[in-house]
Amino acid sequence: MKIAIIGTGYVGLPTGVGLAEFDNQVICVDKERSKIEQLKQGKVTLFEEGLEELFLKNLKEGRLSFTTNIKEAIPKADVVLIAVGTPPNPKTKEADLKYIYAAAEEIAPLLSDFTVVATKSTVPVGTGDKIEALIKQKNPKADVEVISLPEFLREGFAIYDFFHPDRIVIGANAQRGFDRIKKMYAPFEGKTNFLCVSRRSSETIKYASNAFLAMKIHYANELADFCEKAGAIVSEVTQGMGLDTRIGSRFLNAGPGYGGSCFPKDTNAMAYMGRQYGADLSLVAATIKGNTLRKKKMAERILAQVEEVKNPKVAVLGLAFKGGTDDCRESPAIDIIQNLLELRPDIQIKAYDPKATEQARKILGDKIIYETDMYKAAEGADVLAVLTEWVDFKSLDLEKTLSLMEGKKIVDLRNMLSFEKATQLGFKYSSIGRV
């Protein structure tokens, strides 16, 4: 099949690479010239485990190409996937659809033979109707089916998730739309669940899923606060809960709050839609409020360790919003650092992240010092704070760290380090959901 992908970011690029690996002819379009230039030269523009290898293979074998010129991509395509951003409106927090509609307007006049235009971007309920109306208005002769094809990949596992989806949800209002998308995903036939639903249901499934996962994380965080007061250990509690198959163990890890490019924006957009339709989504609203507050509380928890220290030095491990990615969008680590800088202007922060330094620098600039390994960050620190769950941090040599630090305090907001080892060595060790 010939597939055009509009938007070559965290969703578009791994999806394009995966579909090329399935022997499709894939052309990825992006407005950002520098991104497309790099990709054409064989350089991946974001970090995802396993992405580079598959990208280079498919580029070399001629199944994957890149362009800034949409006219090269649309006329020949059987399927056009829209994977542009849907960022939050800074004021109302609703999903801003300007990139979606701009893409639809550009696609419309170029459509010739029967084409499926499928939205991979996360879009509010009813957006498919608007895209369809817009295309029909610009090009009344277009033979097109507009489909909702929500993306469920997790950053950090994008390639794994592409090849092992839990389900493929197709939202269409006509059979030929389902048929073409099923053909595109034919290699998954018999291996995963295909759910064919109405376009509006499909659009809702994506928001409902993300809001549910965000609520699950927030519930684990509230339980952590409870355990700290009640003398229980949250990791034991959530393990016990997770063994119940009705609950499940995933997304039940207590931590500093959820972040990333999806959960914060999608919960806000869901709450906005609830208000718009007059439907009470109070659980979603409580989750958003609690999660925002949590990041401030986490900064205060770190600062409590250096209350008496003048010009305190904090070593930060982790800047990305989660382990396995360089993405810092809405990263709790960044929020916590910003809170620290605001609450204690005399603070000095030295941070290390295995992949996200450059992305973090774009947000924080020279407000903090960026180190090239965890021990350099720990040198001279009064307190060490673990903010992202990179597996590398599990192997932190605590004896060596102790010898390098000025103070003996650790605030482990990801419960990555050994409580027993840290306390044996004499660290004052504060973790999540355990006294």
Ligand X SMILES: NC(=O)c1ccc[n+]([C@@H]2O[C@H](COP(=O)([O-])OP(=O)(O)OC[C@H]3O[C@@H](n4cnc5c(N)ncnc54)[C@H](O)[C@@H]3O)[C@@H](O)[C@H]2O)c1
For the segment 169-228, give every residue that binds ligand X (CB under 6 A).
none
Q: What would the two tokens of residue 177 be?
A: 């739309």
3-class DSSP string for 135-169: HHHHCCCCCEEEEECCCCCCCCCHHHHHHCCCEEE
Residue nearest to ligand X (CB): 9
Q: How far apart are the first and last CA of the chain?
A: 57
Applying CB under 6 A, which of residues 3, 5, 9, 378 lies at the interface with ligand X?
9
**Which helix (H) or strand (E) covers residue 101, if one does?**
helix 98-107
Q: Give the tokens for residue 322.
A: 């989660």
The residue (of 102 and 133) whose beta carbon lies closer to ligand X is 102
Q: Is 262 a catalytic residue?
A: yes
Among 6, 36, 131, 303, binds ligand X (CB under 6 A): 6
C-beta closer to ligand X: residue 4 or 234: 4
Q: Closest CB to ligand X among 7 and 259?
A: 7
Axis crossing angle, helix 127-138 with helix 199-230, rounded to the nearest 10: 150
Backbone angles phi, psi at 327, to 5 degrees: -75, 125
44: nearest Cα among 65, 13, 23:
13
Interface of this chain with ligand X, residues 341 to 360, rule: CB under 6 A: none
When binding is defined by CB under 6 A, the residue of 3, 4, 5, 11 that contacts ligand X is 11
Residues 131, 146: Cα–Cα separation, whole Å: 7
Q: What's the distance, CA 282 to chain centroid?
A: 24
Residue 258 is a binding residue for ligand X (CB under 6 A): no
Which residues are CB-contacts of 255 (< 8 A; sequence separation ≥ 6)? 217, 220, 221, 332, 389, 413, 414, 415, 432
| Region of 2-10, 314-322, 399-407, 425-433 interacting with ligand X (CB under 6 A) | 2-10
Q: What is the DSSP letter of 391?
A: G
Residue count, binding to ligand X (CB under 6 A): 28
Strand spans (E) along 113-254: 115-119, 144-148, 167-171, 193-197
Smallest gap from Cβ 115 to ligand X, in A, equals: 16
Query: In whole angstroms, how close is the CB of 127 to ligand X at the nearest point?
Result: 10
Residue 2 or 154: the one with the smaller Cβ distance to ligand X is 154
Return the number of the residue (333 or 417) whose C-beta is nearest ligand X.
Answer: 333
Question: With CB under 6 A as the contact rule, which of the stretches 29-37, 162-170, 304-312, 377-385 interacts with ligand X?
Answer: 29-37
| Part of the chain binding ligand X (CB under 6 A), chosen from 7-15, 270-278, 283-291, 296-304 | 7-15
Is position 30 an interface residue for ligand X (rule: CB under 6 A)?
yes
Question: Among residue numbers 110 through 149, which ones bind ligand X (CB under 6 A)?
Answer: 120-122
Closest CA to 393 of 351, 433, 338: 351
Nearer residue to ligand X within complex by CB, 137 or 403: 137
Two tokens at 287? 């989750």
Nearer to ligand X, 29 or 314 (CB): 29
Does residue 151 bind ligand X (CB under 6 A)?
yes
Contact mark string toward ligand X, 76..105, x via CB under 6 A: -------xxxx------------x--xx--
Q: Is there a contact between 81 and 4 (Cβ–Cβ < 8 Å)?
A: yes
Contact with ligand X (CB under 6 A): which of 74, 262, 288, 317? 262
Q: Please select the residue that binds ligand X; options are 3, 4, 8, 281, rule is CB under 6 A.
A: 8
The percent helix, strand, coil of the chain (3-state, each to 5) is 45, 15, 40
What is the C-alpha to C-alpha distance for residues 389 and 411, in angstroms, rounded to an integer?
13
> Contact with ligand X (CB under 6 A): which of 97, 116, 153, 298?
153
Q: Which stretch binds ligand X (CB under 6 A): 24-32, 109-117, 180-188, 295-303?
A: 24-32
Contacts with ligand X by CB under 6 A lie at 6-12, 29-32, 35, 83-86, 99, 102-103, 106, 120-122, 151, 153, 155, 261-262
Active site residues: 262
